[in-house]
Amino acid sequence: MSAQPRMPTESGTPDHFQYMHPTLRRNYGQWSWHERPRPGVLHHVSRTGDQVWTVRAGTQRQMDVHTIRKLCDIADKYADGYVRFTIRSNIEFMVADEKKVKPLIEALTKEGFPIGGTGNSVSMISHTQGWLHCDIPGTDASGVVKSLMDELHQEFINEDMPNRVKITTSCCQINCGGQGDIAINVQHTKPPRINHDLVANLCERPSVVARCPVAAIRPAMVNGRPSLEVDERKCICCGACYPPCPPMQINDPEHSKIAIWVGGKNSNARSKPSLHKLVAAGIPNNPPRWPEAAAVVKKILAVYKQDAHAWERMGEWVERIGWPRFFELTGLPFTKFHVDNWRGARASLNTSAHVRF
Ligand code: SF4
Ligand code: SF4
């Protein structure tokens, strides 16, 4: 008997073709042109003559089962039973008949799902997991997003911005943090506080020591027990030690703040990708509606909308007018902490075991 081949266990993403609308499947790679008949609706025409209309709607992203069922019912009734999610967590419904577009939009609007997020709008804010899923957040990224998108509803359903605006939110300072035209990221401002009674039982001390980017953590004996100590003059409050060692608590209701960064871009359309820059720091981390962070973001968006040339992305606009003018127009205070000449970094990174220069 010949040996049976050992088939691999498939654990990756499933084949997406099986979930695709039949018109999309049939015309894969055949699309000839497309247009946007109105904000939130895309119209694609294939070389074969087939057409498809995509209706994009915003959701709160982290959805309860009732909301998901509601969206599925709408898909079954108005959109041939097919949906897909964009990378910014908008939901899209595809129909192959133009007559189905209007009733679909009406059904979504009636249930409170705004239609938009296409073209030069402020699309849904991409965010990291927040308090619901992750064990180290300093803020609730999804909560910040929900409250901000409630205030940016008009910018989502219209395409009035000079170019598309991608906003991101990150709930800790080190991991899946965002990079965007505007990024809202948590900012720790004090070194971690160590609970020495727990370190010996919970933390693998060498890996915590190795984790610190500026070599600020040392093994230490405290009250006769093995623990750790932090050189607070070196600590840059990054929070990297907290995930592998929860007794090194860095989250703080008062001292964990929010910082806002501007001008990041992943795409290389028209200009090169760019890194965002810090424009506002020390903003209160103030759930459940984060009004102070929302006010700064709305101010930046209003000035960008008014002052940028057509098709300028946020970072391109700031590069053209210059950062001093950006601070002047937005009214954001410019402080010495905005100046990063890398002198401080040279001193602190040279103490690290990882980086020498
Ligand atoms: S950004 Fe940090 S806290 Fe938020 S989900 Fe990612 S790893 Fe967790
Ligand atoms: S890992 Fe970050 S927060 Fe922890 S001690 Fe080092 S610099 Fe400070």
- For the purposes of burial, counting CB atoms within 10 Å of the CB of 6, is it exposed (0-12), middle (13-18) or buried (19 or more)? exposed
Positions in the chain whose pLDDT score sits under 70: 1, 175, 177-178, 340-357
Q: What is the pLDDT of residue 347?
A: 63
Q: Which of 171, 188, 238, 256 to mutate to test the pocket of ligand 1 (most atoms within 8 A of CB)?
A: 171
C-alpha–C-alpha distance, residues 142 and 155, integer Å: 19
> Where do runs of H (alpha helix) occur along the chain?
22-26, 65-78, 101-110, 141-151, 153-157, 196-202, 205-211, 291-307, 314-321, 323-330, 343-349
Nearest CA to ligand 1 atom 8: 134
String of DSSP letters for 40-86: TEEEEEETTS-EEEEEEE---SS--HHHHHHHHHHHHHHSTT-EEE-
Q: What is the pLDDT of residue 31?
A: 97
C-alpha–C-alpha distance, residues 124 and 135, integer Å: 24
Cα 234 to middle of ligand 2, angstroms? 8
Question: For ligand 2, what atom is nearest to the CA of residue 211?
Answer: 1
Query: 116: Cβ below 6 Å to ligand 2?
Result: no
C-alpha–C-alpha distance, residues 130 and 1, integer Å: 55
Query: 241: Cβ below 6 Å to ligand 2?
Result: yes
**Could you give the C-alpha distances from 180 to 234, 280, 342, in angstroms and in order?**
29, 15, 22
Q: What is the pLDDT of residue 60?
A: 83
Domains 126-189+253-346 and 193-247 are alike in CATH topology? no
123 by DSSP, 3-state: which?
coil
Q: What is the pLDDT of residue 12?
A: 80
Nearest CA to ligand 2 atom 1: 212
Query: 182: Cβ below 6 Å to ligand 2?
Result: no
Output DSSP code: residue 299.
H
Q: Locate 131 and state its tokens.
A: 């308090």
Q: What is the pLDDT of residue 342?
A: 55
Q: What is the value of pTM for the model shown? A: 0.89
Q: Locate 6 and state its tokens.
A: 């050992």
Query: 216: Cβ below 6 Å to ligand 2?
Result: yes
Cα 253 to middle of ligand 2, angstroms? 18
Q: What is the pLDDT of residue 21?
A: 96
Cα 239 to middle of ligand 2, angstroms? 6
Torsion angle of the four alpha carbons 50, 55, 61, 64, in this order, in degrees rounded to the nearest 10 = -90
353 by DSSP, 3-state: which?
coil
Cα 256 to middle of ligand 2, angstroms? 14
Query: 212: Cβ below 6 Å to ligand 2?
Result: yes
C-alpha–C-alpha distance, residues 167 and 293, integer Å: 13
C-alpha–C-alpha distance, residues 160 and 204, integer Å: 52
Considering the four listed CATH numbers 3.20.20.140, 3.40.50.150, 3.40.50.2300, 3.30.70.20, the one that applies to the domain covering 193-247 is 3.30.70.20
CATH 3.30.70.3340 fits 16-110, yes or no: yes
Q: What is the pLDDT of residue 269?
A: 86
149 contacts 293 by C-beta, under 8 angstroms: no
Q: What is the pLDDT of residue 8?
A: 76
Phi, psi of 53 (to 5 degrees): -110, 130
Query: 192: Cβ below 6 Å to ligand 2?
Result: yes
Q: Which of 172, 258, 285 to mutate to test the pocket of ligand 1 (most atoms within 8 A of CB)?
A: 172
How would CATH label the architecture of 126-189+253-346? 2-Layer Sandwich (3.30)
Nearest CA to ligand 1 atom 2: 172
Cα 351 to middle of ligand 2, angstroms? 13
The distance from CA 247 to its chain's CA centroid, rounded to whole angstroms, is 28
Q: What is the pLDDT of residue 348?
A: 60
Q: Which residue is associated with the tokens 């010996």?
A: 200
121 contacts 159 by C-beta, under 8 angstroms: yes
Q: What is the pLDDT of residue 317?
A: 97
Q: What is the pLDDT of residue 266?
A: 86
The H or E element that residue 155 is part of is helix 153-157
Q: What is the pLDDT of residue 355?
A: 58
Ligand nearest to the CA of 131: 1
Q: Locate 279 and state its tokens.
A: 């424009």
Nearest CA to ligand 2 atom 7: 235
The H or E element that residue 147 is part of is helix 141-151
Domain residue extents for the chain? 16-110, 126-189+253-346, 193-247
